[in-house]
Amino acid sequence: MNNMNIDQLFNQHFADSPAGATTEKPVVVCAPGRVNLIGEHTDYNDGFVFPMALDRVTTIAARRRTDTRVRIFSMMQDQMAEFTVDLEVAKAAPKWSLYARGAAEALRQRGLIAHGMDALIHSDVPLGSGLSSSAAFEVATALALLTVNGRTLDGVELAKACQWAEHHYAGMPCGIMDQFISVMGQEGHALLLDCRDLSRRQVPLSDPNLRILVANTNVKHELVQGEYQARRNQCRRAVEHLAKRYPQVKALRDVTLDMLESVRLGMDPMVFLRATHVITENKRTTDFAAALEKNDWITAGRLMYESHRSLRDDYGVSCRELDVLVEIARSVPGVYGARMTGGGFGGCIVSLLPEKVVPLLEAAIAKDYPLQTNLKSTYFVTRPSAGARVISR
């Protein structure tokens, strides 16, 4: 959706002029999806993550209304959703609208909404792929509502508001990473984020020969939400067990491998494995950032492969299709590293490689993945891009 056809699309989907509609020129905002280069399932354990904003975005063209009615048309779903923001926003169908409803309610609670909007939504962030299409939708909705109301919100607070929406309306108890990078992404950089205090460091990915390839398994096993909550519960149980000996432990962020080993007796073996992943993944993430700052792609790639092994064996969130894609990447000479990215049980892998190796990896995926899975993978090369922004007003 570009500026050239926004007026035409608005006329198509908002041709009616009910009370409250205006004829103002739509504002256009966007918010990106993300790929997490390393640091998986650490965010809700007060740990470190290392995402970057994608060059794939959710775009919203929004026109202010004089009343508190919100009408949103999703071009992906080919469906309209409506609600009002004068009182608590209803949790109602269609299901996809819950992300927008939650973002609106978070702003309403902050006293930032006086007007509703008519909004047209388009996204090229692949849905259900672990690339955070939901966070992009939440952040874009919130930014559109703020913009038509002539209001602004600090970036950290905007991310927290959209995280709240994911928890309370979409029902996914996610960490802060997805919304944070969608708001705070910086072109040409990935973000080392401390999820405990939200301190962060922008790390350049400026080597012109470096490429990041995202490959989608095109499967999503129907386990994610329940298994996600199960992992959170196992991590909580590990902390409770550790805190009996180490009262200073508030999260797995506070634990070393030696501390974990010292309380292994009496700990559920599965809980021990989950904690092992989080503790080692935190160190891999900070080591990965240090390697990138030195342009040490070999070390960075090794850490990605180690992360995938840990996610597969210790945290138990991989699946055969993800493992196949990672092994295909490993088989291509010159690929630095690859790992699953996102919550798991399907979705995508992310690979780090030189530009000249991209055609070799693409050819290997196109040939070998269908042979091993009877599925086709879709893939794209991406670059670190900017976070949420107003394109025109």
Q: Using one digit for the tens of pLDDT, what is the confidence trace for 322-342?
A: 999 999 999 999 999 999 999
- Supply the pLDDT for residue 2: 52
Contact, 85 vs 113, CB < 8 A? yes
- Supply the pLDDT for residue 188: 95
- Supply the pLDDT for residue 209: 95
- Supply the pLDDT for residue 105: 98
- Does residue 319 lie within any of the structural domains? no
- Does residue 33 lie within any of the structural domains? yes
Structural domain containing residue 18: 6-204+387-392
Residue 224's pLDDT band (cuts 50, 70, 90): low
Residue 216's pLDDT band (cuts 50, 70, 90): very high
CATH classification at residue 134: 3.30.230.10
- Does residue 359 lie within any of the structural domains? no
Return the higher-pLDDT residue of 130 and 187: 187
- Does residue 200 lie within any of the structural domains? yes
Distance of alpha carbon 133 from alpha carbon 144, whole angstroms:
16
- Does residue 60 lie within any of the structural domains? yes
- Looking at residues 146-150, what average pLDDT do you find? 97
- Supply the pLDDT for residue 244: 96
Relative orientation angle of helices 358-373 and 320-331, to the nearest 10 degrees: 140
- Does residue 10 lie within any of the structural domains? yes
Run of H or E including 100: helix 98-109
Mean of pLDDT over the chain: 94
Return the higher-pLDDT residue of 234 and 132: 234
Share of the chain above pLDDT 90, in %: 87
Task: Count up the domains in the chain and report the number.
Answer: 1
User: From the candidates 43, 46, 118, 178, which is the catalytic residue?
Assistant: 178
Contact, 76 vs 161, CB < 8 A? no
Q: Is the pLDDT of residue 186 over 90?
A: yes
Instruction: Record the pTM.
Output: 0.92
Q: Is the pLDDT of residue 5 over 80?
A: no
Q: Is the pLDDT of residue 72 over 80?
A: yes
Q: Is the pLDDT of residue 91 over 90?
A: yes
Distance of alpha carbon 185 from alpha carbon 175, whole angstroms:
17
Residue 11 is encoded by which pair of tokens? 């006329």
Q: Could you tell me which of 230, 237, 238 has the C-alpha nearest to residue 279?
A: 238
Contact, 139 vs 31, CB < 8 A? yes
Calculate the CA dihedral of residues 107, 112, 115, 117 and round it to 10 degrees.
-40
Do strands 200-204 and 189-194 pair parallel, antiparallel, or not at all (unpaired)?
Answer: antiparallel
Q: Using one digit for the tens of pLDDT, what is the confidence trace for 191-212?
A: 999 999 999 999 999 899 999 9
Q: Is the pLDDT of residue 221 over 90?
A: no
- Supply the pLDDT for residue 126: 84
26 DSSP 8-state letter: P
Distance of alpha carbon 173 from alpha carbon 166, whole angstroms:
7
Residue 21's pLDDT band (cuts 50, 70, 90): confident
Q: Is the pLDDT of residue 3 over 60?
A: no
C-alpha 333 chain-centroid distance: 29
Please confirm, yes or no, whether 7 is among the known catalytic residues. Answer: no
89 DSSP 8-state letter: P
- Supply the pLDDT for residue 390: 97
Q: Using one digit for the tens of pLDDT, what is the confidence trace for 51-64?
A: 999 999 999 999 99
Residue 382 is encoded by which pair of tokens? 């991406």
Q: State whether the Cα torsion 308-312-317-322 is positive or negative.
A: positive
- Does residue 266 lie within any of the structural domains? no
Distance of alpha carbon 138 from alpha carbon 105, whole angstroms:
11
Q: 12 exposed, middle or buried (CB, 10 Å; 0-12, 13-18, 19+)?
A: exposed
Run of H or E including 138: helix 133-148
Q: Is the pLDDT of residue 373 over 70?
A: yes
Residue 40's pLDDT band (cuts 50, 70, 90): very high
Return the higher-pLDDT residue of 386 and 4: 386
Q: Is the pLDDT of residue 393 over 90?
A: no
| Least trusted range by pLDDT, from 11-15, 305-309, 340-344 | 11-15
- Does residue 66 lie within any of the structural domains? yes
Q: Could you tell me which of 125, 137, 128, 130 has the C-alpha nearest to residue 41?
A: 130
- Looking at residues 151-175, what average pLDDT do you find? 94
- Supply the pLDDT for residue 223: 59
- Looking at residues 266-280, what average pLDDT do you find? 97
Residue appearing with tokens 């138990």: 316
- Supply the pLDDT for residue 1: 55
Residues composing the chain: 393
Distance of alpha carbon 146 from alpha carbon 155, whole angstroms:
12
